[in-house]
Structure 1
Amino acid sequence: MKQRGNLEEMDKRGQVTIFIIVGLVIVAGILVYTLWLRPTYFSEKGGAIGFEGCVGDVVEQSIRDIGSTAGFVDPEFSYKYNGEEIGYLCYTNDYHVTCTIQKPFLKQHFQEQLKRKVGQQINLCYENSIDELRAQGYDVSAGSIDFNISIVPSSVRVEIEAPTTVGGRRVTRFGVDVNSPIYEILMVSTSILQFEVEYGDADTSSMMFLYPNLIIDKLKRSDGTTIYMIEDKLTKTKFQFASRSIAWPPGFVGQ
């Protein structure tokens, strides 16, 4: 009986030990997730980084800027209209034939160009915030920035890696979501381009019935170029691009 009691006591102690170990593993996992893996945000109180607002403003303005040039920071192949260089997204130099897509993956193209556009400005947002914290007397250790941009429905998401320590508290990741209809606009633009490739034209009036929140317009030019303009009615976010498909020779009766 005494031996059996000792075995039961040892079994209980073993279970307690296991529970303690499991508990420590769980606590350690939570700490690792909280301090290292989970995106961490500082508010503007108590030594905040506080540069998310600056990043949001930069992204919004940059969407407007490159939206007017077909998603190009510096369009090399474009049509000049109203003083703007509007990039060709579909083009053929021949007559009577449909165009060839210049950027097969439009959303990815816009993401890459947007990242290129905002890179220097996001770094400046970060540096200015660090300088402000130091001016307020905080002990700040800052690292180099790396970031990614993803365009998703109704939003542009910016994920920033910036190892930073403020007053002994460490943060490595920041996330900024910018409300924007650019995803939907790019999807509509992709549909228009498919019509340009297949038929040489797109019926913008019919498309506006399908997308009542958008203004979809086109402008035909004498050289066979068509400028498409898609604008969100609420936010005024605009995307425009050029296409040349099934063009007619000058003076042709069927033009």
Structure 2
Amino acid sequence: MIRKINKKGQVMIYVIIAIVLAGSLLLFFFLDREPRTTIDERESNPQSYIEKCVRKHVDDAVNIILPQGGFLEPTNFRLYNNIKVDYLCQNKGNYASCINQHPMLLNEIENDLIPYLNPKIEQCFSELRTELEKRNADIELTNQEIDLDFAFNRVYLKVNRKMTIRERGNTQIIDGFDVQIISPLYDLVNVAVEIANQEAKYCYFEYVGYQVLYPNFDIRKFAFSEGTKIYTIKDKYSDKEMNIAIRSCAIPPGI
């Protein structure tokens, strides 16, 4: 009787060890996998590859412009934490309210991003072409044009370009690429413009009350002694932050 119990116990131990080893191997396999664009993906789904490549470049561009007041290369800025923060509303004198420098900020962002993104998206197609041609596929591309649009929690980018792939007697035609990127850019810019408008009109923005009405935003203000205020607007859902500089109704130091 004792020998039978021991054998059953040994079998159970072996089963448990086998399950643990199998689970460890599966866990290692999934943890070791990193999201990356592979050659196989380029070959099997060119459209998905282009969309993923475009999405990455848009995300990178948004991450550049948000801390800088909405611009890739600010020209009229105040340094804040070693970041060039563009003035959205400014009066270089004292006491007078500021003048809105960028009342059509979203349009300016669009005009700034399109020439920045265009060559990067062109590179996406170039890399795809190189990989597909390695397997003797024939690829035709028309000229590239891109359109940008912004909406609540979204950036929409359309690549107006026809791509034709011929391989082994099969032809695949893609007439264009519509890419949707989850981003708070539109929402943060609207808050920034509202701050600039209020500062231009009242020399003040009631950011505490604004957060009560719109709890998805966290707004902070830092004031320099010379009169510049830096507003940092944070989207709580994404943790993305936008900085803007304001100088309105400034009072000279010592008064």
TM, length-normalised to structure 2: 0.78
Equivalenced residue count is: 210
Return 183-192 or 115-124, whichever deviates more: 115-124
In structure 2, the residue matched to 1:143 is 142
- The CA distance in 1 between the partners of 2:74 and 2:151, in whole Å, is 24
Change (3 A) 1:47 1:151: closer
Return 173-182 or 110-119, whichever deviates more: 110-119
Change (3 A) 1:197 1:159: same
In structure 2, the residue matched to 1:18 is none
- The CA distance in 2 between the partners of 1:230 and 1:208, in whole Å, is 10
In structure 2, the residue matched to 1:133 is 132
Letter of the structure 2 residue corresponding to residue 245 of structure 1: S
- The CA distance in 2 between the partners of 1:77 and 1:46, in whole Å, is 47
In structure 2, the residue matched to 1:173 is 176
Deviations 1:191-235 (A, max 9, x none): 111111011121111111122111111111111001111111121
Which aligned pairs between 1:39-54 and structure 2 lie closer than 5 A?
46=44, 48-49=46-47, 50-54=49-53
- The CA distance in 2 between the partners of 1:149 and 1:69, in whole Å, is 20
Which aligned pairs between 1:95-134 and structure 2 lie closer than 5 A?
95-134=94-133
Letter of the structure 2 residue corresponding to residue 154 of structure 1: N
- The CA distance in 2 between the partners of 1:156 and 1:47, in whole Å, is 23
In structure 2, the residue matched to 1:227 is 230
In structure 2, the residue matched to 1:247 is 250
- The CA distance in 1 between the partners of 2:88 and 2:141, in whole Å, is 41
- The CA distance in 2 between the partners of 1:131 and 1:102, in whole Å, is 45
- The CA distance in 1 between the partners of 2:193 and 2:181, in whole Å, is 22
Shift of 1:138: 1.8
- The CA distance in 2 between the partners of 1:136 and 1:232, in whole Å, is 45
- The CA distance in 2 between the partners of 1:215 and 1:128, in whole Å, is 40
SS at match of 2:197: helix
TM, length-normalised to structure 1: 0.78
Which aligned pairs between 1:41-120 and structure 2 lie closer than 5 A?
46=44, 48-49=46-47, 50-120=49-119
> Contact 1:143/1:162 (CA < 8 Å) preserved in 2?
yes
Deviations 1:145-177 (A, max 9, x none): 110111111210001012211113322311000
**Which portions of structure 1, spanning 4 or more consecutive aligned residues, are displaced by more than 6 angstroms?**
none
SS at match of 2:46: coil
Q: What is the percentage of aligned positions where both structures have the same residue?
A: 26
> Contact 1:146/1:161 (CA < 8 Å) preserved in 2?
yes
- The CA distance in 1 between the partners of 2:214 and 2:42, in whole Å, is 39
Change (3 A) 1:141 1:204: same
Letter of the structure 2 residue corresponding to residue 86 of structure 1: V
Deviations 1:61-100 (A, max 9, x none): 1111011111111111100111111101111111111000
